[in-house]
């Protein structure tokens, strides 16, 4: 702690003031309850307090590993880095948002796929119908539409990085979202997603969606063009095409000599065998 911070703490301790006790003259009506710096707007005071004194990064990007101190910084990051657009306007005011109430209003005009967010539709159209894959990994044959997906792939698969450690056990994970999921499910025992058609509850939304599609709807949306098999999940179709029909094993474990046809199977192997 530097001398300026020590003085601030000493001043606050001696005065024992609260935010409500501080009276500020002039136009600056909002004072920080920690250092007593005054501001003309309450939002500026809160921003100051969160930035200078708290330094907590509570806003995590769901598309990459970055975290931010402010929601506005997260929104700016997603718009610039992940092509997120504010396409959804509030019915009651002029504010716009990147997501809405869960309806799938954005439909692909070339197929029947529907998406909750326009950016997902754009990614779908670019990859599926235009065949665009702009970023190639220089360590393997995999290609990606977005740069952050390439960087994520390289960090986890080729560098084996696990930067996120659980503070309740010795588990380390390569992706922050997986750490959050681990803490919620393993340590908190939470199952937040309930099926409206039966009594089952799930830890992840994707598991609930999978359950509803296969159990209650009987859907199998992915058809293999090399045989007549249908699959509920896209990665199972890819497994069928790459492993069964092409015999490919593109993902090699850097800790042993084993090779796998899918990235997810390699990751599962590394977590189970080598951790």
- Given a cut of 50, whether residue 22 has pLDDT beyond it is no
Average of per-residue pLDDT across 22-35: 57
Tokens of 148: 């952050």
Distance CA 48, CA 58 (A): 15
Tokens of 251: 């993902």
Average of per-residue pLDDT across 102-118: 67
From 6-15, 190-199, 208-217, 230-239, the region with the lowest mean pLDDT: 6-15
The total number of residues written for the chain in this structure:
275
pLDDT at residue 54 in the model: 58
CB-based burial label for 170 (10 Å; 0-12, 13-18, 19+): exposed
- Given a cut of 80, whether residue 5 has pLDDT beyond it is no
Average of per-residue pLDDT across 231-254: 83
**How many CB atoms lie under 10 A from the CB of residue 82?**
19
Distance CA 127, CA 143 (A): 11
**Binning pLDDT at 50, 70 and 90, where does residue 215 land?**
confident
- Cβ atoms 223, 232 nearer than 8 A: no
Task: Report pLDDT digits (tens) over 175-201.
Answer: 787 888 788 777 877 777 888 888 888
Task: Report pLDDT digits (tens) over 245-258.
Answer: 888 888 888 888 88
Average of per-residue pLDDT across 218-225: 81
pLDDT at residue 67 in the model: 75
**Binning pLDDT at 50, 70 and 90, where does residue 171 land?**
confident
**Binning pLDDT at 50, 70 and 90, where does residue 65 land?**
low
Angle (nearest 5°) at CA 88 between 51 and 65: 45
- Given a cut of 60, whether residue 208 has pLDDT beyond it is yes
> 18-33 b/e with 16+ CB inside 10 Å = b?
eeeeeeeeeeeebbbe
From 217-221, 237-241, 265-269, the region with the lowest mean pLDDT: 217-221
Q: pLDDT above 70 covers what percent of the chain?
A: 69
């Amino acid at each position: 702690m530097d001398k300026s911070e020590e003085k601030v703490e000493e001043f606050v301790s001696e005065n024992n003031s609260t935010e409500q006790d501080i009276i500020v003259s002039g136009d600056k009506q909002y004072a920080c309850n920690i250092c007593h710096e005054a501001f003309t707007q309450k939002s500026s005071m809160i921003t100051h307090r969160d930035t200078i004194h708290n330094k907590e990064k509570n806003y995590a990007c769901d598309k990459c590993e970055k975290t931010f101190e402010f929601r506005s910084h997260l929104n700016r990051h997603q718009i610039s880095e992940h092509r997120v657009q504010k396409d959804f306007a509030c019915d009651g005011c002029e504010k716009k948002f990147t997501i809405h109430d869960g309806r799938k209003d954005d439909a692909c005009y070339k197929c029947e796929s529907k998406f909750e967010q326009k950016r997902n539709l754009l990614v779908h159209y670019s990859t599926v119908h235009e065949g665009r894959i702009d970023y190639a990994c220089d360590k393997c044959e995999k290609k990606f539409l977005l740069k952050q997906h390439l960087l994520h792939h390289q960090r986890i698969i080729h560098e084996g990085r696990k930067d996120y450690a659980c503070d309740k056990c010795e588990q380390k994970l390569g992706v922050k979202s997986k750490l959050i999921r681990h803490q919620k499910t393993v340590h908190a025992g939470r199952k937040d997603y309930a099926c409206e058609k039966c009594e089952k509850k799930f830890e992840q939304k994707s598991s609930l969606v999978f359950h509803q599609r296969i159990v209650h709807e009987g859907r199998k949306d992915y058809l293999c063009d090399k045989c007549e098999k249908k699959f509920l999940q896209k990665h199972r179709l890819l497994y069928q095409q790459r492993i069964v029909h092409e015999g490919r094993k593109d993902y090699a474990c850097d800790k042993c000599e084993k090779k796998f046809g899918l990235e997810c199977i390699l990751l599962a192997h590394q977590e189970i065998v080598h951790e």
